[in-house]
Amino acid sequence: MSDAYLLVLVRVARRLSLGVCAVSALSIRSLSDLTPTEFENLTLDLVVRLGLKNAVWRTPGRDGGRDIQGDSFVSDFSGFVSRSSWYVECKRYADTVSWPNVWEKISYADSNSADVLLVVTTSTLSPQAIDEVNRWNNAHKNPSVRFWNRQDVEARLGLHLDIKVKYGLSHTPIQDAALSMIELSKVLLKYSNSITACVEFSGVLERRLDVVQTLSELISARLAEIEQYGRISVIPFRPNYDAPDWLKQVEAVQGKGFDRYAFRCIAALIHCHSSSSEVIIADASANKLTLQAGPVVEELLPDLKTIAFWGGLNIASDSNSIIIESQYAAN
């Protein structure tokens, strides 16, 4: 076990021992305290965790909000798998969501060939909206309409402590953070343990050390933020200070809302599994960029997604690159 991993364990234990005292100084948030963008990000994390596949942001709507689209796959007893396209609309409202608001989103979802519209709100639908939605669904019109009110969202969040911790919604954030980061710690332990084998079998030691170092930094930074603020922060990547020598065209990251710690860790992991000496940043847009370093190892994606979650990033891939999207870049 590496010194870096032991250091992380010590910090976790220390924060747990101080948790009861520290939590009293934290400001515990509710769903209403989230900004519209934070609520959209939380909704994306939640629907992906619950099984929505190929989830992507749609173009911002007239209200400036981002909408989510993805696919749901259901297998029946015969083994046939059916696919439905879902359109998710996020409404951070204090008042109820009216039927005209829902109807507007039904029209937009239908124009985008969605099979199901899911309205997710911090309040609830108005009585008229609920009646109209029931009439719509009973008439078997397309798209079908589903909705989560505040209680529905909170109930689902109760099963996913890491999402609550990420957005500052946990009443015991320090204790919950230790449980929430188990998967991230497993990734660190895997690469820590691989260092010995790397030395014995003449592997690429330096690249594995980069992974261990950046993972340790990520975990330590997130634990410190949760201890101080009750939620994670996003610390912008600084190309002139945070980029290793093997990461090229780093100026493309400037101002795109990419978290310093998670982005460095993702780049190090890709470099570790690449036969190339460099990782190149390409095809950058407002809140996306592509990392290229040769063929993508599919087995790497679960670890990349685990890391990305703790940096407000989304991960996708094709055969030769990893596509990274920042949840916190400007809409």
User: Tell me, what CATH number does 54's domain have?
Assistant: 3.40.1350.10
Q: How far apart are CA 220 and CA 217, in angstroms?
A: 5
Q: Are residues 319 and 196 in the same domain?
A: yes
- Kindly list the distances between the CA atom of residue 235 and the CA atoms of 222, 245, 322, in Å, as whole numbers in the listed order: 10, 21, 21
The answer to whether 216 and 188 are in contact (CB under 8 A) is: yes
Query: Helix, strand, or coil here: 25?
Result: coil
**pLDDT, position 268:** 95
Query: Helix, strand, or coil here: 112?
Result: coil
Q: How far apart are CA 106 and CA 266, in angstroms?
A: 38
Q: Are residues 129 and 183 in the same domain?
A: no
Residue 166 lies in a domain: no
Domain boundary among 126, 157, 188: 157
The answer to whether 42 and 163 are in contact (CB under 8 A) is: yes
CB-based contacts of 53: which residues, under 8 Å, 6+ apart?
A: 70, 71, 72, 73
Residue 198 lies in a domain: yes
Q: Are residues 130 and 241 in the same domain?
A: no
Among 154, 60, 63, 46, CA closest to 101: 63
- The pTM score is 0.85
Q: State residue 86 phi and psi, 5-degree precision.
A: -110, 140
**pLDDT, position 249:** 92
Q: Are residues 186 and 321 in the same domain?
A: yes
Residue 26 lies in a domain: no
Which domain does 276 fall in, by range? Answer: 3-10+179-326
Q: Are residues 82 and 117 in the same domain?
A: yes
**pLDDT, position 18:** 47
Q: How far apart are CA 293 and CA 25, in angstroms?
A: 45
Count of domains observed in the chain: 2
The answer to whether 21 and 39 are in contact (CB under 8 A) is: no
The answer to whether 174 and 16 are in contact (CB under 8 A) is: yes
Could you count the other beta carbons within 10 Å of the beta carbon of residue 228?
A: 12
Residue 169 lies in a domain: no
Exposure letters 202-211 (e unless 16+ CB within 10 A, then b): eeeeebbbbb
Residue 128 lies in a domain: yes
**pLDDT, position 112:** 85
**Residue 318 burial (C-beta neighbours within 10 Å; 0-12, 13-18, 19+):** exposed
**Residue 88 burial (C-beta neighbours within 10 Å; 0-12, 13-18, 19+):** buried
Query: Helix, strand, or coil here: 309?
Result: helix
Domain boundary among 94, 122, 157: 157
Token pair in block for residue 203: 């592997």
Residue 163 lies in a domain: no
- Block mean pLDDT (10 aa), the chain, length 331: 50 47 62 92 95 83 71 90 93 92 91 93 95 95 95 94 94 89 91 72 76 95 92 91 92 87 95 90 82 83 94 87 80 41
Going by the DSSP 8-state scheme, the letter that residue 58 receives in this structure is P
Token pair in block for residue 45: 């994390």
Residue 317 lies in a domain: yes
Residue 98 lies in a domain: yes
Residue type, 191: Y
